[in-house]
Structures are given as C-alpha cells and as structure tokens.
C-alpha cells in the first residue's frame, strides 16, 4: 500500500519490536507502531479507513467491548475486518500427540485468560452484539489442509518452538498447564 499509512497496534512491546524490525528490513517507511490496550485505543474517533485484526480477538476477555472500541476509531463508511481461527477444529491424521499437546496448552492458556480459542465461529455474533446491523456484516469461513511435505513441515515444525518459549510458555507454567521440564524436553 505505497500511498497509504499503516499503524500497527499491540499490547506487547516484544511483538511490536519484531514488527518494527521487519518494517526496517523491508524498507517500509509508511508504517508506525503503537503500544496499548484494545479496550482503550489511543486514537481519536473516526481515525482509520480500515481496521484489521488477525488472531487477536481470541485473546480478548471482553470481545464485544473490544469490537465496540475498534468500531469507534473507524471513519464513517470504513471497514472493520477480523480474521480468527476456531482452533477447536484443528485436527491431525495420522495422530500427532506432540502437536495435540501444543494446541491443548494454547487453548488452556487462552481460556484461563478469559479468551476464546473458538473466536472464529463467534465473530458474527459478537459483532452484532457490538451494535453492527446484520445486513452490514459479511461472514465467511475457509479451511486449510496441509498435505505436502513442505506444507506439513512448515506448519508442524513451528509450533513446538512457538509454545515452549516466551509469554505463552511462562503463562502455561504459571497456570499449571505445563512444566518447565516438559517444555524443555
Ligand atoms: C496470536 S498473536 C497475533 C499477532 C498478529 N496479529 C499476527 O497475526 O501475527 C495475538 C496478539 O494479540 C495481542 N493482544 C492480546 N491482548 C491484547 C489487548 N488487550 N490489546 C492489544 N493487543 C492484545 C497479543 O499481544 C498478541 O500479539
């Protein structure tokens, strides 16, 4: 989007630093990055043409309140676009106990934090609750099937690394859903 401007927003400075670094590596000069909480966005009413969230609503404990706040900062006629998974439907065949364990841990931490691993299936309902008329909502769903060696490796091999370190791993240990020894195995 060479003529536009993108503001990246997240609660976590760790994620924001990664995004800033990626922007520098890709010579992206029309983006800035702001830290804050979705329930109290540091932006004026009617600021953005488009607000896009990706895999974020599943972490919010008050989803309707968050969506209302996202709507507040969109200009009249603008678009709110949200993309969420329903991770209850993630399945593997042949059985992959290690990946099942990773996803169980992610879902347990999300639920214990008040989030919803199945946010995808609930998005329309939450958006209606947030005050958007039904005829203004487009709701679609899709699925991914990973079957080539490249696809299964790209998907499967990232998860153990993603769940065994960082804030998620710390939370899982703190909440008793994993032990440090198991994560290090
Ligand atoms: C699964 S990550 C997705 C990150 C990014 N959107 C992506 O798709 O790669 C979920 C993100 O939601 C952020 N998050 C969780 N609760 C938040 C809140 N209350 N306000 C803002 N961001 C929040 C987390 O810090 C995390 O970076």
pLDDT (tens digit per residue) in 97-144: 989 999 999 999 999 989 999 999 999 999 999 999 999 999 999 998
Q: What is the mean pLDDT of the chain?
A: 93
Q: Please, what are the domains in the chain?
A: 1-36 (no CATH), 37-184 (3.40.50)
19-37 confidence digits (pLDDT tens): 999 999 999 999 999 999 9
> Is 10 a pocket residue for ligand 1 (Cβ < 6 Å)?
yes
C-alpha distance from residue 34 to each of 8, 57, 84, 110 (Å) = 6, 18, 22, 23
> Is 11 a pocket residue for ligand 1 (Cβ < 6 Å)?
yes
pLDDT above 80: residue 1: no
Sign of the CA dihedral running 118, 144, 166, 6: negative
CB atoms within 10 A of CB 148: 8
Sequence-distant contacts of 88-96: CB under 8 A, at least 24 apart: 88/117, 88/118, 96/156
Mutation probe of ligand 1 site: the residue of 6, 10, 63 with most atoms within 8 A of C-beta: 10
Mutation probe of ligand 1 site: the residue of 7, 8, 9, 11 with most atoms within 8 A of C-beta: 11
């Amino acid at each position: 989007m060479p003529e536009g401007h993108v503001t990246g927003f997240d609660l976590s400075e760790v994620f924001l630093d990664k995004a800033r670094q990626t922007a520098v590596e890709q010579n992206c000069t029309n983006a800035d990055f702001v830290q804050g909480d979705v329930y109290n966005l540091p932006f004026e009413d009617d600021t953005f043409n488009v607000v896009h969230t990706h895999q974020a609503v599943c972490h919010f404990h008050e989803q309707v309140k968050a969506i209302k706040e996202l709507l507040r900062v969109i200009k009249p006629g603008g678009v709110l676009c949200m993309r969420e998974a329903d991770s209850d439907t993630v399945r593997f065949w042949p059985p992959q106990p290690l990946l099942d364990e990773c996803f169980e841990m992610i879902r347990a931490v999300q639920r214990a934090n008040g989030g919803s691993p199945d946010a995808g299936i609930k998005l329309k309902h939450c958006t209606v609750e947030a005050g958007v008329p039904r005829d203004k909502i487009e709701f679609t769903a899709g699925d991914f099937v990973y079957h080539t060696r490249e696809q299964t490796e790209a998907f499967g091999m990232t998860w153990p690394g993603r769940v065994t370190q960082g804030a998620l791993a710390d939370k899982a240990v703190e909440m008793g859903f994993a032990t440090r020894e198991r994560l290090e195995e």
